[in-house]
Amino acid sequence: MRIIAHLDMDAFFASLEEAGSPIFKGLPIAVGSDPKNGQGRGVVSTANYKAREYGIHSALPISKAWQLSQIAKVEGKPEVVFLPVDFERYNKAHEEIFEIIKKYSDLVEPASIDEFYFDLSFSKNYKEAKKICFRIKQEIKEELKVTCSVGLGLNKLIAKISAGMKKPDGFLAVPEKDAEKFLELLPIREIPGIGPKTEEKFNKLGIKIVKDLKKFSVEELHKMLGKWGIDLYYKIRGVDDSEIVENKEAKSIGEQITFEQNTLNSIYIGEAFENICKSVFKRFMTSGFKSFRTVGITVRFSDFETKTTAKTLKKPSSSKKEFELETMKLLLPYLDKRKNPKKKLIRLIGAKLEKFKS
């Protein structure tokens, strides 16, 4: 029988900032874009638990977060500490956590910068596995001064959901015999892969919790959701055979920027685009891949309409010149009448590389 663990860092970016700067201790922190006195674009990446009391959370527009901070100030509460995202620092912490988990399990999958799956099937039982989880939690706390939550279950799905239930600094094991009951009572939105659109779709049919979802046959879910519906049918019955995968290769490398102000100034856009391409290519060069075959761009207009265009080259390439030339050819039509007849201002541009060969 498998025993799978999922470890999820608590308010990761904000916790690391707090741990790194004692003066922030106890203060509300929002890591994300520059609020620029309420004029900033962009969103909150991570808010610590103190900031969440103000109503600030991930993906909240930074301007709104700034307003909430001003309101708090008027009420005599401490203002929010706004900090930029420091990926270098978080990546380093990620590696350190990976190394700690590695000491206890030889099958570890980093699922994102702040999440890991690992295999504890070698443990005699859940009690033994739990002990290991607590040792890992302890070690992370000692070394990095941040907390995490861990879930245990018979597969990745159960492990992930249970890790999320006792945040922060929590632990939950859902043994096999309880798995189906545990799932049945959850709101469908708790199932990873069911987002706002799918939730809405099911809500309209009166489907609220996982138990309601079980009314549908495999065929019905397949029809409604495509291939993923088949997975879902089994997942909600506690069946998830997906493996822990240790080394996942990247499928794409890309970057995009949102301008401070929407623009159609081709000199300005051109310069920004050049910088993006340079940076993307640099990352390609250090990725270890030998070649790419598809190049692509993204353009987002002022009304948020977003266009992507891609071109697959005849032959694999590793040429920076070719990347820059081909993406520029894709971008140019959006700057004039060809693909922008209404002369809409541009809000964001991006470039990416795909179809790698090692």
Partner DNA sequence: TCTGGGGTCCTAGGACCC
Burial of 184 (0-12, 13-18, 19+ CB in 10 A): middle
Q: Are 241 and 218 in contact (CB under 8 A)?
A: no
Nearest approach, Cβ of residue 7 and DNA (Å): 12
CA torsion sign, 142 to 158 to 241 to 200? negative
How many residues touch DNA (CB under 7 A)? 54
In the bound state with DNA, the residue whose beta carbon lies nearer, of 26 and 38, is 38
Nearest approach, Cβ of residue 119 and DNA (Å): 19
Cα-based angle 140, 144, 150 (whole degrees, multiple of 5): 30
Cα-based torsion angle of the residue sequence 197, 201, 207, 213 in order, rounded to the nearest 10 degrees: -80
304 binds DNA (CB under 7 A): yes
Given 17, 109, 115, 326, the catalytic residue: 115
Task: State both tokens at 292.
Answer: 């790419």
Q: Are 323 and 276 in contact (CB under 8 A)?
A: no
Task: Give CA–CA dist 311/323, Å, rounded.
Answer: 10
283 binds DNA (CB under 7 A): yes
In the bound state with DNA, the residue whose beta carbon lies nearer, of 291 and 294, is 294
CA torsion sign, 174 to 178 to 180 to 185? negative
291 binds DNA (CB under 7 A): no
169 is in an annotated binding site: no
Taking CB under 7 A as the criterion, the residue among 215, 311, 329, 357 binding DNA is 311
In the bound state with DNA, the residue whose beta carbon lies nearer, of 110 and 238, is 110
Nearest approach, Cβ of residue 266 and DNA (Å): 19
Task: State both tokens at 212.
Answer: 């309601």
94 binds DNA (CB under 7 A): no
In the bound state with DNA, the residue whose beta carbon lies nearer, of 21 and 308, is 308
Taking CB under 7 A as the criterion, the residue among 256, 291, 317, 340 binding DNA is 256
114 is in an annotated binding site: yes
Taking CB under 7 A as the criterion, the residue among 86, 184, 199, 322 binding DNA is 199
10 binds DNA (CB under 7 A): no
303 binds DNA (CB under 7 A): yes
Taking CB under 7 A as the criterion, the residue among 49, 98, 104, 228 binding DNA is 228
Taking CB under 7 A as the criterion, the residue among 108, 253, 277, 331 binding DNA is 253
33 binds DNA (CB under 7 A): yes
Known catalytic membership, residue 305: no
Task: Give CA–CA dist 309/186, Å, rounded.
Answer: 40
Site for DNA in 57-76 (CB under 7 A): 58-59, 61, 63-64
Site for DNA in 109-148 (CB under 7 A): 111-115
In the bound state with DNA, the residue whose beta carbon lies nearer, of 26 and 195, is 195
In the bound state with DNA, the residue whose beta carbon lies nearer, of 142 and 304, is 304
Known binding positions: 8, 114
Interface residues toward DNA, by CB under 7 A: 33, 41-43, 45, 58-59, 61, 63-64, 111-115, 160, 192-199, 226-228, 250-258, 283, 293-294, 296, 303-304, 306-312, 347-348, 350, 352, 355
Known binding positions for Mg(2+): 8, 114
Catalytic residue IDs:
115
